[in-house]
Each structure stands twice: as structure tokens, then as C-alpha cells.
Chain A
């Protein structure tokens, strides 16, 4: 059905340049991780001296974060001290204020920064609940996702080149 087809060039005419695409993809994905914005949990851990980043739910009411879900007491306090979305500087400033003011969002007598450092929940007085949620089965600090993805794509490109050579021979 004519309606249903594009008329450009035969597939084989663009198959070879696909190698360029894959190679290019390898470079871009390698850069992806390198240029990704550091996340707020890591900044919080660094600022308060915690051994691991807190979960997103320390501020958000959704495990995945997202706009409109930063409804926790700590989030409201930090917002009152200038925190805005995706602005690392505003987070550092707000955390500095929390430290200076010894803010205590849940009024349990332990400051927010001390609770963040200890891994307890600054939104729940007494922290009678379980410790903050953690994901994963073990620690492999130093994982290099960009290199792994680069290797995966490079392997695909190499395989593709091999196939082309085999077809030509």
C-alpha cells in the first residue's frame, strides 16, 4: 500500500553508515554519564557528612521524586531557605542554613543535619519507624556505567563490521 511506505533509499544504502551512528552513540553515551548533573541526594550526603545518600523520599512523597512531590517537612523547610528544583547552589545554600539554624523539622530534638548524617528520618519525630529505605544488594562503588555502555555499543559496532565483511567476501 503506497500510503504505508516511505520512499527514500534502499536499506542497504544506509546500513553501512549505521556503523557511524553506533560509534557516535558510543561517544554520546559515554559523555552522558560524565555530564549528568550530580543528584541532590549525593549533595546532601556530602554537605552533612553522611556515609551514603539519603533516599529521594527524605524530601519527596514518591520513591522516584519528581515535580510536585517534594511535600515532606524537610523539603518545605529547605524551600523556605531558597531551595529550588535542579539548582545545586540553592540546595547547598539551604543546607548551610539548616546547619546554621540547627533546624529540626520533626521537632524531636535532633537537628535535621544530624538526622541526615545518622541516616534517620528528619521528617518523623522519634524515628520510631524503620531506617531509611536502601536499594541494592551490595556496594560496588566506582562502577563505571559510561565505560560499560561504551563497551556494549563498541562490541555491537565491531560485530556489525564483521558481518559486512563476511557478506562482501
Chain B
């Protein structure tokens, strides 16, 4: 080994530690969301079922999904990938230390970060957030599956996790379970029948759980799950899921539980484009926000379009209809358009526009814009910076600065 090479080799560990320190600092000042990336359609994945245990996306990854996370999503360093490259053991559970049997899927999520909020230019909120600390597993025996997650939620993230609470500690720190279900695979695994606490099948399963299309339809992937029975069908060009909602049984009393149905259907137009439609109809004796009997509907369309691999457009538009006892029926709308550009592999720039008019008489419309940079710097790890501006709705103009880091173990 030449002296120069020796010197370079000796220098690398220091550089590596510097990288780790920078990442650590990034972690220290940051916080994220769940893993569900509709823009994977750029790689020809029109469906989600190959990579996720949930046939409609998000949640536990299959071994194939873990491999694709490393081979397709995260940055590569140095050598060019071989034509038929296989994922390293690093992509496995707990960095490959654990090799579970085929019947068992395991995973863990850790998200943390820092958020700054301003209202009319005044800083009104800044804090650390522990956004997610969950473990998940799925056991499959024959055609039957049992799947669930268990985690903890800090007081600081109460508003974004309380609907999934298992406990009700007064200080806001609680055990939570976002998903738990039993399922059976039918028709050569193209159909999955499930019962339990499930993600609501509606619209884009995007990770921006505070985007208006998710929060206003109450279909966010972070805590908007409900108990019920669902059936999903997946083929190469078509996927659909319908769910009968029995209510969130982690919410009391029963009067607040919404009951109804929701579902979506999506048709692939080639390998890189898909369009779909969604419907949601629920009724509650007492709406959790107003305590009044409420009949709530959302109907919409969505699309995922990629005409050039580095660029993916995600779009969703939903009509919101709410009928409240004593207040009549009101109509609103919400929409989202996102352009995700993968500059180099693993590094994404995204611009998102959104609009909202709540279904209330006299409601004022609002608009929002997101600028996002995210870097999948290692398999299953990403850092993300968001700047979100929202105005209208009869409320102060707000700016949110969010720095976050997410790891999937």
C-alpha cells in the first residue's frame, strides 16, 4: 500500500465520524412522519403490495420492500451498482442482525425533530418533537396474518397521536397502537380480507399527514386509523380497497365513533402513471369536534404521474360535505398538488401546493405551500426539511419550519 493510500485510509475514519456527527446534529435539530411514498411509481411500482404488508401502502416492509429501500431509494456512495445487484444484509431488520423466519415481519420506527411555528410573523411555538417510536410485527401462518404496532407518544406530540392512544395518562405520555388487525389472503394472494384497526383507504397515502387532504378528510396515516373490516384487491394494473368503518374503539364514549364506509380504486396507466377515485361516508351521534350529530362525506380523485423518472406529480382533489344536526349541510373542498424531483438518487426536492375551504357556512378559503428537501442518506434513514406557509381560513398567516429525521429499524 502506498504511503499516500495509507494516509488517505487513515483520514477516512475521521471523515466518517465527521459525517456521523453532522448527521447526529441533524437528528438533534429535527422530526418526521410515517413511511409511505406514493412517488415510488417513478420506479414502476404502481401498487404497494410488493413492498408493504398493508396492501394499500405504508407500515411494515416486506423483505422485498426492505431490499428496494436500499437498492432504489437511498443514496449510493462510490461504486456503480451491478446489473443484478442484491441488497446487503444491512437492509434487514435491526441492520441485518436479526434474520426472522419467512413467516415473521418485524420493524421499528423512530422519528424525532424540531419544529418552529410563526403566526403573522411572530414566533409562537418551538420545541422538540418525538413524533414516532413504534415497533411493529406481522406473523403469517398459511393464509392467515396477524399484524400490529405498539409505540409510545410523548406529551409534545399528543395532538398528533392521541387518537391512537391505548392509555390515557394525564401527562399526555401514552402507549399507542396505530394498527392491529387479523387478515386472510384469498384468491392466490390477490385479495386480503382484514378486520381490526386499519388505515382508512382513501386518496393518496402520502406521508405529509398534516396536509389538508389528509387532516380534513380525517384519513391521515399518522393516527387517523379506525376499527373495521376491509377487503383489498391488487393486480398489476388495478388496485382497490373498501372498508366498513365500525369506529375508533380507542375513543370514548361510543357516541363519538364514526360509522360508515370508505374506499378507493386506482387504475394504472402504464408503468409510471395511475389515476384513482375515493369515497368516504360516515355518521356519528356526536362529532368529536362539535359534539353534534354529524353526517360526513368526502369524495375525490387522485393521480400519480411520472413522465420522466426523476419527476413525479401527485395530485388529489376532494369535495367535503358535512351535515350537522341543527346547522344543515355545507360543502367545502380540499386539494393538493405535489411535484417531487429526485435530483440525485436519494435526494428529493418537492414543492407542494394545497387549498382548503372547510364545509361550514361562511367558511373562508385558504391556501398553503410546502418546500421540502429530503435525503435518504442510508437504507431506511432519511433527513427532511420542510418550510410550510399557510394563509387564509380566517386565521393568522402561519409559517412552519420543520427539521426531521426518520429511521426504520
Q: Contact residues of A with B, CB < 8 Å?
A: 3-11, 13-18, 20-22, 24-25, 28-29, 31-33, 35-39, 41-42, 45, 51-53, 55-57, 60-69, 84-87, 121, 124, 129-131, 133-146, 148-149, 152-153, 155-156, 159-160, 162-163
Contact = CB atoms under 8 A, between A and B. Distances in A.
B394 A68 contact: yes
B94 A159 contact: yes
Contacts of B89: 163
A18 B344 CA distance: 22
A9 B78 contact: yes
A160 B94 contact: yes
A42 B80 contact: no
B143 interface: no
Interface class of chain B by DSSP: mixed
Contacts, number: 284
Contacts of B4: none
Given A63-B289, A135-B251, A143 B28 contact: no
State the 10 A-B residue pairs at the shortest beta-carbon distance, nearest first.
Answer: A68-B395, A36-B156, A17-B20, A136-B168, A24-B24, A86-B125, A145-B152, A140-B167, A159-B97, A33-B154
Contact of B174 (A45, A84, A85, A136): A136
Interface of B: 12-13, 15-17, 19-21, 23-24, 27-28, 75-80, 88-90, 94-98, 108, 110, 112, 117, 119, 124-125, 127-130, 133, 135, 152-160, 162-163, 165-175, 210, 215, 218, 223, 250-253, 255-256, 285-286, 288-292, 344-347, 366, 378, 390, 393-396, 398, 405, 407, 409
Contacts of B215: 62, 64, 66
Contacts of B28: 24, 28
A35 B31 CA distance: 14
B289 A67 contact: no
Given A6-B344, A29-B112, A124-B291, A86 B124 contact: yes
Nearest to A167: B89
A44 to B, nearest CB: 12
A25 B27 contact: yes
B289 A57 contact: yes
B95 to A, nearest CB: 5
Given A24-B24, A142-B169, A145-B130, A162 B159 contact: no
Contact of A25 (B94, B156, B251, B407): B407
B155 A39 contact: yes
Contacts of B167: 136-140, 143
Nearest to A163: B97
Given A21-B23, A25-B112, A143-B152, A160 B170 contact: no
A52 B158 CA distance: 14
Nearest to B290: A61
9 contacts: A14-B77, A28-B24, A33-B154, A56-B159, A63-B288, A67-B395, A134-B251, A135-B174, A163-B96
Given A25-B112, A67-B117, A143-B174, A5 B133 contact: no
Contacts of A55: 288
